[in-house]
Amino acid sequence: MALKDVIGQESAIKILKSAVTKRKAASAYLFHGPSGIGKRLTAVNFAKALNCAEPEADGDACGSCASCRRIEAGAHPDVKEVRPEKGVIKIDEIRNLEEALSLSAYEGSFKVAIVDEAHLMKIEAANAFLKCLEEPPQGSVIILASSNPERLPDTIRSRCQAVSFKPLSGNDMAYLIKDRLKATGEKMLRTLIGLSMGRPGLVIDNGKGGDILKKRQDFLRSLHEMLFSKAGKSPSWADKEEIEDFLDGLELFLRDMLVLKATGREDLQLFGLEVPAELKSLFKTAEEEVIIDCYRGVAEIREGLVYNPNKSILWNYTAGMLKRLLPPSGKRVFKQNKDV
Ligand SMILES: [Zn+2]
């Protein structure tokens, strides 16, 4: 595979191809965009193009020479990659990377360092990394990939050329996952495309899209619990990842409700996934403005997540917001009565 085979990221690929054609890469890039849309895949193929022994006329990698194959296998001495472990990128990893970059290239033309989910560098790691960015070793290219670039220090962001990655269109998603999910029927294919929100990695990485469906079920269970559990019971999320999954799920659910309101077509919906009847009717009867208010609420909660709020307080806060906007009685609290 090469840069030309990356689907749905035309503007990012254009920038990178122009760099390889001119053999003039920036010393640092920041690939930013939601997770699962191909940032790391593109970084690996950019590294191939920079080091390919038999490049195409436009500078793209051949995908089959020894250098390309070693990069693909993660075994090229001049291409190093750091990925988070248990949600953290440790300072030792960054130091090793720094050291590797400071040596001259063994066999390739460029030394390439890829830091996946770079915002997960702890502050000490980020500080150590900054030195690398301030005085980039000759012939080195650093690629930071991040789904949360705003969590990176300004000092790091400002030293990188930003390259934006976008969620894929429905057609691109269908093209990408169809072959991988051959046994899947048309209905499941559409469900997975809807659930993926243009992020093929969410479907492809685990092969059958099972994980994404499980996340959806978990979300529906949590939402039901949040809105209908008996008083006195106080559930919560296990960790920050669960909170983020819940907010992703809620956004998707709200979007579906708006699509249903606008089109009246349930076949466009993901309701095939056993949405509990109580939830379905609650959201079905809600007015559009209420759903949009919920959306806003979700965005605010997401912003507050950077401050690491207490999980059970956040659960109650989210439950309170949703119950206020979507009371089971159907009467929205604080809503003005137009007849008065
Ligand atoms: Zn090659």
3-state secondary structure of 88: strand
3-state secondary structure of 100: helix
The two three-digit tokens of residue 292, written as one number: 């949009």
Kindly give the distance from the C-alpha atom of residue 42 to the centroid of ligand 1, in angstroms, as a whole number: 15
Give dist(CA 237, CA 239) in Å, integer.
Answer: 6
Q: What pLDDT, on the 0 to 100 scale, is given for residue 65?
A: 96
DSSP type of residue 273:
T
Kindly give the distance from the C-alpha atom of residue 140 to the centroid of ligand 1, in angstroms, as a whole number: 19
Kindly give the distance from the C-alpha atom of residue 78 to the centroid of ligand 1, in angstroms, as a whole number: 14
Contacts of 14 (CB under 8 A, 6+ apart): none
Q: What pLDDT, on the 0 to 100 scale, is given for residue 297?
A: 92
Is residue 218 within a helix (H) or strand (E), and if so which, with residue range? helix 210-228
Kindly give the distance from the C-alpha atom of residue 71 to the centroid of ligand 1, in angstroms, as a whole number: 9
Kindly give the distance from the C-alpha atom of residue 46 to the centroid of ligand 1, in angstroms, as a whole number: 11
Q: What pLDDT, on the 0 to 100 scale, is given for residue 290?
A: 86
Sign of CA dihedral 287, 288, 293, 299: positive
Q: What pLDDT, on the 0 to 100 scale, is given for residue 136?
A: 86
Q: What pLDDT, on the 0 to 100 scale, is given for residue 233?
A: 64
E strand intervals along the chain: 28-32, 79-82, 111-115, 140-146, 161-164
Task: Give residue-wise pLDDT tens across range 205-245.
Answer: 654 455 777 788 888 888 988 888 776 566 788 888 889 88
Q: What pLDDT, on the 0 to 100 scale, is given for residue 38?
A: 94
Q: What pLDDT, on the 0 to 100 scale, is given for residue 268?
A: 52
Q: What pLDDT, on the 0 to 100 scale, is given for residue 337?
A: 45
Kindly give the distance from the C-alpha atom of residue 211 to the centroid of ligand 1, in angstroms, as a whole number: 34
The two three-digit tokens of residue 266, written as one number: 């349930």
Kindly give the distance from the C-alpha atom of residue 110 to the centroid of ligand 1, in angstroms, as a whole number: 14
Tens-level pLDDT at each residue, the chain (340 residues): 999 999 999 999 999 999 999 888 999 999 999 888 999 999 999 999 999 999 999 999 999 999 999 999 999 999 999 998 877 899 999 999 988 888 877 776 899 999 999 999 988 999 989 988 998 888 899 999 999 899 899 999 999 999 999 999 989 988 888 776 666 677 777 777 877 788 888 777 654 455 777 788 888 888 988 888 776 566 788 888 889 889 988 988 888 777 777 776 665 555 556 677 788 777 777 888 888 889 899 989 988 887 888 888 999 899 999 988 887 665 555 444 444 3
Give dist(CA 3, CA 13) in Å, integer.
Answer: 7
What pairing do the DSSP bridges indicate for beta strands 111-115 and 79-82?
parallel
Kindly give the distance from the C-alpha atom of residue 63 to the centroid of ligand 1, in angstroms, as a whole number: 5
Kindly give the distance from the C-alpha atom of residue 231 to the centroid of ligand 1, in angstroms, as a whole number: 63
Give dist(CA 275, CA 195) in Å, integer.
Answer: 14
Enter the pTM of the model.
0.74
Give dist(CA 94, CA 124) in Å, integer.
Answer: 10
Kindly give the distance from the C-alpha atom of residue 65 to the centroid of ligand 1, in angstroms, as a whole number: 4
| Type of residue found at 127 | N
Give dist(CA 83, CA 140) in Å, integer.
Answer: 19
Kindly give the distance from the C-alpha atom of residue 250 to the centroid of ligand 1, in angstroms, as a whole number: 44
Kindly give the distance from the C-alpha atom of residue 70 to the centroid of ligand 1, in angstroms, as a whole number: 10
Q: What pLDDT, on the 0 to 100 scale, is given for residue 82?
A: 94
Kindly give the distance from the C-alpha atom of residue 263 to the centroid of ligand 1, in angstroms, as a whole number: 49
Kindly give the distance from the C-alpha atom of residue 22 to the centroid of ligand 1, in angstroms, as a whole number: 17
CB 270 within 8 A of CB 194: yes
Kindly give the distance from the C-alpha atom of residue 303 to the centroid of ligand 1, in angstroms, as a whole number: 43
